[in-house]
Structure 1
Amino acid sequence: MIKVVIAEDMDILRESLKYMIESDSEMQVVGLAHDGKEAYELCREHKADIVLMDLRMPGCDGLEGTRLIKASFPDKKVLILTTFEDEESISSAIQCGADGYITKDILPKQLQQSIKSVMMGLGIVKRNIMNSVVRNVNSTHQSDVSISALNLTDKEKTLIRLVVEGKSYKEMGKEICLSEGYVRNMVSELLIKLKMKDRIQLAVFAVKNKIIS
């Protein structure tokens, strides 16, 4: 069972999100927060797995809430759910440690899948805002080799393209005719090879350096 805390200052939206999430039998909303500080406290109290975090809230906003949670509970996931798609909001959220960034026009099933994907370790960013992330996130990756020196195979380049497209491990496996477990291992090996921490950083690096077309 995935334990979820929702941080949203609008009562009606908070309750609607709770209903949508709990319509999936694999998820349970264990706390409803009005701001980031309350989300942090509920995360600690209920041992939540993931926080669905709005950005703009009175008092402690989503950015500060994300920083608090990640500082004390680095293994807890934070998925930003907001109406804002501006470059500053996106880059700031990811720099604060957010594991994903989606917008409120998302469908209920997509929301459920996004939560599950983040829990599986996938960095979720809506495809249409990836360009903003690429332009503005200051990647911590510092490479001292040229792209050609990476010696990426065609299969690795295909895998990177699928990561950029936001595909799940299962979808990747179907496309390149490999098992889901094998694909997971390949992605892990790529992250180690390129000295990166997650799929979002890999996607940013790939687009910035034109690894994919």
Structure 2
Amino acid sequence: MATHLLLIDDHALFRSGVGMVLAAGLGVVEITEAATLEQALLIPEDAFDLVLLDLQLEGLNGLDGIALIKRKWPHVKILMVSATQDKRIQNEALIRGAHGFISKSETPSRMLELVTQVLAGQLPADPSSTPADQQLRLSARQSEVLELLCLGLPNKLIGRRLNLSENTVRGHVQAILQTLKVSSRSEAAFVARREGLIN
């Protein structure tokens, strides 16, 4: 049976190149192309096995399009494709229901490998499959530290506000970064606001 693929990208040359790589590596494939999400959603095809969805599109962007694609083709697997290396955007794509994320800087063989894995059901862990309270579980003290951290206060001032030593605050900050799966204070503030962890 043929594998049905949908490529949504506003660069015709990129669609053509990816199509050739996948056709050569996957065997029997049927590839449909679209330059925009609006164009893709008008395709009468009943079902696709996999959608390769570009992040930056004219009109609706790829992140906002994930839900629309899943509504039209509920069982399809979605791989986001982008030039960005921003981990926050990659995580957001997974949270919204994408099955993986491919950088446009990847080699053709690596892209083929990732596509094959997703088609075989070997998917990365989906952050949305974890209940939010387990995913982002902070202690009451960590929540207090996080709130002050988001105000831009350094560890020393946070310690003064909460009557804690600077070392204790540093430990709480490290635990917060680990829990939120981020590497910097600014990223922690971004995720905390996005997830409604602070007012």
Task: Return the alpha-carbon distance in structure 1 between the equivalents of residues 120 and 133 of structure 2.
Answer: 26
Residue 12 of structure 1 pairs with residue 3 of structure 2: no
Residue matched to 2:118 = 118
Question: Which segments of structure 1 move beyond 4 Å, counting only runs of 4 or more?
Answer: 207-210
In the aligned structure 2, how far is the partner of 1:90 from the partner of 1:25? 25
Residue-by-residue CA offset, 1:142-197 (whole Å, 9 max, x unaligned): 44xxxxxxxxxxxxxxxxxxxxxxxxxxxxxxxxxxxxxxxxxxxxxxxxxxxxxx
The whole-number CA distance in structure 2 between the counterparts of 1:74 and 1:47 is: 9
> For residue 4 of structure 1, what is the amino acid of its counterpart?
L
Q: TM-score, normalised by structure 2?
A: 0.59
User: Radius of gyration: which is bigger?
Assistant: 2
Partner of 2:103: 103
Q: For 1:10 and 1:124, how far apart are their aligned partners in 2? A: 27
Cross-structure match for 2:131: 140
Give the conservation status (yes or no) of the 8 Å contact 1:7–1:53.
yes
2:86 equivalent to 1:86 = yes
The letter for the 2-side match of 1:112 is: L
Q: Does 1:32 align with 2:23?
A: no
Identical residues among aligned pairs (%): 23
Residue 42 of structure 2 aligns to a residue whose secondary structure is helix
Q: Tell me how large the CA RMSD over aligned residues is.
A: 3.2
**Residues 30, 46 of structure 1: 8 Å contact kept:** no
Instruction: Count residues in correspondence.
Output: 139
TM-score, normalization by structure 1: 0.56
Cα distance change on mapping 1:209 and 1:41 into 2, 3 Å:
same
Task: Verify the 8 A CA contact 2:46 2:73 in the aligned structure 1.
Answer: no
- For structure 1, the residue ranges without an aligned partner over 5 or more in a row are 126-132, 144-206
1:58 aligns with 2:58: yes
Give, in angstroms, the shift of residue 57 of structure 1: 0.6
Matches of 1:35 and 1:67, distance apart in 2: 15
